[in-house]
Structure 1
């Protein structure tokens, strides 16, 4: 896989919850660290995502915000 995004985190699919149009995908990228994404249901189906599969969480954004309490 080659991709222009700089932030591609390999992990394990923890859950795929499909709705009528979208699917929420949770990927564990490190022990106790999960990234979730909402993608189209058809994209999830085309990728064949299943719990336990290896997948990448790819983040492409022009801004990253930082906050503290």
Structure 2
């Protein structure tokens, strides 16, 4: 699928931790989870919350940032 044929929401989805909005208390610069992601020191995570809060997007960003 070409980039133009993807839905707008998919094209605008954050690709990096810097682009991810919200949750700065855990993924902001210097925070514990952010440091673990950047150091590629994660073993597993469970994201919990209502639909549409960014769980899958954050998981995809983490996968791109680490060697997952």
User: Could you tell me the TM-score, scaled by structure 1's length?
Assistant: 0.23
Higher helix content, 1 or 2: 2
User: Could you tell me the TM-score, scaled by structure 2's length?
Assistant: 0.23
